Amino acid sequence: MMQIALARLKTIWPDASIQVLTDDPNQLADCCPQIHPMAAGGRHAWAQSCLLRPEVYDALPDELKVVFRILRRTLKRSNPAVAKRLAISKLRSLSDAGSDTLDHYLETVRHADLVIVTGMGGITDAFPEYAFGLLETLDLAMESGAMTALVGQGLGPLERRDLVAIAKRVLPKIDFISLREGLYGLPLLQRLGVARDRVAVTGDDAIELAYQRHPPVIGNHLGVNVRRASYSAFDPLDIERLRAPIVSIIELLKCSAISVPVSQRAVESDSKSFSDLLGCQVDVSQCGQNITTPIQLIDQIGRCRLVIVGSYHAAVFALAQGVSAIGLAGNAYYIQKFEGLAYQFGSGCEVIRFHENGFQEELRSAATRMWNMADDVRPQLLSRAAQQVVASKAAYEALSQKANSRFAMASDEA
């Protein structure tokens, strides 16, 4: 998503200096050499400073959490020197970095012309501290006069009262928002008070990358992905529950299964999960440990006729190439992600809630039906993908026109 966003931004403003907040500056520099990585430690410290200890804050009633956030924001605005000292203290507890990291973050955001959040699903109850930090960055940027935008966003679920309170304050002031789905995102923004004329529904920005590489004919493999992580509600027992239906699908369809790993992080390695799920059933060379770039993953998925996946972007890369997808969802966060994706693509994308009784038979039935219909569904999926690429590009063009108009007005006033 970020690669597509940065390429488009560089096309719109070729002379712009683009800095990107990241937890891994070296990796980002390798993937996107045209930008300037900026360590995100300063943002984390600023967002988490002035907070009570996490266990104390979490124990507060919802009403007091909201009040505490308001008081904290008041301190940052009324006495930024004290807030900065507290943030530096927090920074040192987070890492060995000094105050330069915080200074760089604050100065960059305060002097930016445009602060843009590229495609993600980060404003959600599933990642509250990340969402707080992101919204505080946007608030700081707007306070300093910068234009702000969110593109390719998946929003929600959002029910936490403290997070809803800051979202209601910040999001209605954002200059431009594009959503990757309209089923959940649009109603949520309406509840938060965001004007409809500031919002566009475009589909995921990453669709373009996969659609450009779709093969001329459909593949013949079954792609499998399991996401084991705290935010996916998929635990070791679920591996055992999922193995039997997946093995029976492989036997019934007389196909080979290949791994389609999105994350290779040690704490949530999709390759390791695939190995634990099907290691005894498939060639170990198919576990996908060597797939480390989006292009490699897209090409791997392009070999498939159907994918059964627990990762949202494994499904995105499949559908964008005309490959049908079954999303495995274990909580509201993933149900919303996959149902929103199905809403954008129509038939060819289905959601299985793997904690519900009878999910094994539902999965076998869906896989058999979708495998047999894959050739018929493929043209529609590719058409939907093409439409979303057009909509996504149009959103960036609308953003550029709005931004250039504002920049010109600011220049005239100066």
Predicted local confidence at residue 209, as pLDDT: 96
What does the mean pLDDT of the chain come to? 90
User: Are 63 and 164 contacting, i.e. CB atoms less than 8 angstroms apart?
Assistant: no
Predicted local confidence at residue 342, as pLDDT: 98
Q: What would the DSSP string read from start to end of 182-238?
A: SSSHHHHHHHTT--GGGEEE---TTHHHHHTT--SS---EEEEE---SGGGT--HHH
Mean pLDDT value across residues 75-94: 71
Mean pLDDT value across residues 25-29: 72
Question: Averaging pLDDT over each range in 3-17, 230-244, 259-273, 383-397, which range is the top one?
Answer: 383-397
More confident residue, 187 or 279: 187
Each residue of 139-165: pLDDT tens digit? 999 999 999 999 999 999 999 999 999
Is the pLDDT at 200 greater than 80, yes or no? yes
User: Are 158 and 167 contacting, i.e. CB atoms less than 8 angstroms apart?
Assistant: yes
Mean pLDDT value across residues 108-118: 93
Of the given ranges (66-70, 87-91, 214-218, 386-390), which has the lowest mean pLDDT? 87-91
Each residue of 339-397: pLDDT tens digit? 999 999 998 999 999 999 999 999 999 999 999 999 999 999 999 999 999 999 999 99
Predicted local confidence at residue 114, as pLDDT: 96
Mean pLDDT value across residues 209-216: 98
Cβ partners under 8 Å of residue 242, min gap 6: 226, 277, 328, 354
**CA–CA separation, 38 and 106 (whole Å):** 12
Mean pLDDT value across residues 124-128: 95
Question: Averaging pLDDT over each range in 25-34, 88-97, 248-257, which range is the top one?
Answer: 248-257
Is the pLDDT at 235 greater than 90, yes or no? no
Of the given ranges (222-226, 233-237, 330-334, 349-353), which has the lowest mean pLDDT? 233-237
Residue 29: pLDDT band (50, 70, 90) is low
Q: Which amino acid is at 231?
A: Y
Which domains are present in the chain?
2-206+389-413 (3.40.50), 209-386 (3.40.50.2000)
**Residue at token pair 């699903």:** 121
Predicted local confidence at residue 115, as pLDDT: 95
Report angle CA 384, 226, 315 to the nearest 5 degrees: 5
Each residue of 30-79: pLDDT tens digit? 777 777 888 888 888 778 777 677 788 888 998 888 888 888 888 787 77
Predicted local confidence at residue 271, as pLDDT: 92
Is the pLDDT at 82 greater than 80, yes or no? no
